[in-house]
Structure 1
Amino acid sequence: MRTRATVAALSGALALTALTVPTAQAADAPGARAAAARISSFAAKAPAKVSANDGRGDTRITNVTVNGGKDIVVGTSLKKTYTVSVTATDPAGIYDGYAFLWHGTDLKNGVDGAMTPSAKHGTCKAVNATTATCSVTLVADPKSTVYGNILAGRWHVFASAVGKDGDYITKDTYKSSWVKRASQLTTNAAPEPVAKGKTVTVTGALTRANWDTHAYAGYTQQSVQLQFRKKGAAGYSTVKTVTSDSRGNLKATVKASADGSWRYAFAGTSTTATATSTGDFLDVK
């Protein structure tokens, strides 16, 4: 049910994209009417019957940037709004650009998730007479567009552009982007204060967003770095690596040597974002 609804929504979004150039604006983009008819025909059938890879003429996409090049990290309740920018070039200039993210095996018959813009057009800014960067806004919502843990990981980026002369290009997978479950870390160093040379126990917990239950739960059997910053030092250094237990809990013992802050740092995985706890200052007597 959810997959069919996603495919239907994606088809509808494609049929209404900026690629279907409004007839009223055709005079502003010579040849755009014909391009609109051609791409509308494709969009009406996608993604069930046709690949999105298509094009005509010398319009080219030169770059696509998703969320400023950073992973899209989503928690359990708050929506994540981000921008996808398409830079394209055509000797006649760029009329419009468009993009969306989709998850699955292929755009023809393997889509199980999609994040599409609500606007029918990208917002374009000319770089020069032949090149423009067009941006759209997408939303990752843990209650709808990223509705389950199976959607964490690599997403495909559809990108398209239309020249002012009616040339166009569409790419079903111009590049990939990562949509990840948010993670959290805590740290507590004890006892405090502690005598120099005595044992310090540093505990903590690694949890991550569960998009199925909309709650945070322990992330088990993960490598996490225990780090220390001596008082007055510029940064942290890794002391040892700890593995989270069956509930995501962390525990390590060290010898107290100097005043400073202890923290845990998690490098992340293909499905889960990085996390670094707040440092816990320990007074050594």
Structure 2
Amino acid sequence: MRIRATVAAVSGALALSALAVPAAQADDGRSWTVDHGVTAPQAPAGEKSKRAFGAAAQAVDNAKITSAVVNGGKPIVVGTKSKVTVPYTVTATDDSGIAGAAAFIWIGSSVDAEDSFGFGPNEKSVSCKVVSATTTTCKGTITLTPGLMLNSDATWWRVGAAAGANDGQELERDAVSKVRVQRFSKLTVNASPEPVKKGKTITVTGKLTRANWDTGTYKGYSKQSVQLQFKKKGAKSYSTVKTVKTSSTGTLKTTVKASADGTWRYSFAGTPSTPAVSAKGDFLDVK
């Protein structure tokens, strides 16, 4: 499996690309290539363009990448089939001004290590705005492909960025910030029997599942605490009735007394690897 994550952007006639490194091969067999920098305008005749990488790239002759944020800092939630495209914003500064910048996300011990894997920017998505004579902010998107991801990828990813200054300097920071990537979750509910007499026992079942990137399917999320909630007819919000734990296959089942017409649902608070989710409510008619 191979994904090319190209740190590329466009600012006017400037195409930000190149400085490619060999593909890093992850332990799980995946590989990716990230162009680690940007091609800035040619430096004045007689001057050699300066390039900087990693920690050294944080400050090269006043050139700095000051921030890089992906998806507004919110977790990126990925299912099993559809690609997920999220926005990023990169701000960089230099005495000569910034020609362009782009971001990428990755996991592993280092960008070039064998255990690294990541996704780069969508080249045609990039747009830049000059904030001042020295500072420019560039925006674009990054697309994650679930078919290339493993369950172990549901964790914090590093956000890297590359930029090019007007005087020919090229710089990169491999870890400007972080963004969490999570496995999409689903939750169902069913209250029965229906209709039911007031005071009689009802059974509320459901199932909590989440994306299994290893298999491309959804699998039950076991041993998770889920709240059973009820919203009386005419009420505006739900109230928690009890907490129920999922089985080894992610199923939920509990019993309660029917007291009034209303809607039942299960609600899951989420975990670091899995986002919160609430089931679409099931209305129960009580006679």
- Provide TM-score, normalisation by structure 2: 0.81
Long gaps (5+) in structure 2: 3-23
Structure-to-structure mapping, 1:262-277, within 5 angstroms: 262-277=264-279
Partner of 2:51: 38
Q: State which drifts further: 61-70 or 151-160.
A: 61-70
RMSD: 2.7
Q: 1:59 deviation in Å?
A: 2.9
Answering whether residue 116 of structure 2 is matched by residue 93 of structure 1, we say no
CA shift digits 1:233-282 (9 cap, x unpaired): 22222222111001100112222222211111112212222221101111
For 2:272 and 2:258, locate their aligned partners in 1 and report how far apart those are by CA, in whole Å: 35
Long gaps (5+) in structure 1: 43-50
Q: 1:26 deviation in Å?
A: 3.1
Distance 1:111 1:20, change over 3 A: farther
Distance 1:78 1:7, change over 3 A: closer
CA shift digits 1:23-60 (9 cap, x unpaired): xx437xx79x844x524xx5xxxxxxxx4552302233
Q: Secondary structure at the match of 1:138?
A: strand
Residue of 217, 220, 234 corresponding to 1:218: 220
For 2:269 and 2:201, locate their aligned partners in 1 and report how far apart those are by CA, in whole Å: 27
1:231–1:260 CA contact under 8 A, matched in 2: yes
Structure-to-structure mapping, 1:47-58, within 5 angstroms: 51=54, 53-54=56-57, 55-58=59-62
Q: 1:174 deviation in Å?
A: 1.1
Answering whether residue 189 of structure 2 is matched by residue 173 of structure 1, we say no
Partner of 2:285: 283
Q: 1:127 deviation in Å?
A: 2.9
AA paired with 1:20? Answer: T
Q: Secondary structure at the match of 1:143?
A: helix
AA paired with 1:170? Answer: E
Structure with a larger share of its residues in helix = 1
Partner of 1:67: 71
Partner of 2:32: 9
Q: Secondary structure at the match of 1:68?
A: helix
Q: Secondary structure at the match of 2:113?
A: coil
Answering whether residue 184 of structure 2 is matched by residue 161 of structure 1, we say no
Identical pairs, percent? 50
Q: Secondary structure at the match of 2:25?
A: helix
Q: 1:63 deviation in Å?
A: 2.9
Q: Secondary structure at the match of 2:32?
A: helix
Distance 1:193 1:127, change over 3 A: farther
Q: What count of residue pairs does the alignment treat as equivalent?
A: 262
Q: 1:161 deviation in Å?
A: 2.9
2:128–2:136 CA contact under 8 A, matched in 1: yes
For 1:223 and 1:101, locate their aligned partners in 2 and report how far apart those are by CA, in whole Å: 32
Answering whether residue 113 of structure 2 is matched by residue 109 of structure 1, we say yes
AA paired with 2:113? Answer: N
CA shift digits 1:105-133 (9 cap, x unpaired): 22342543111124299421223433322
Partner of 1:193: 195
Residue of 73, 77, 80 corresponding to 1:76: 80
For 1:273 and 1:185, locate their aligned partners in 2 and report how far apart those are by CA, in whole Å: 11
2:39–2:164 CA contact under 8 A, matched in 1: no
For 1:124 and 1:184, locate their aligned partners in 2 and report how far apart those are by CA, in whole Å: 37
1:187–1:279 CA contact under 8 A, matched in 2: yes
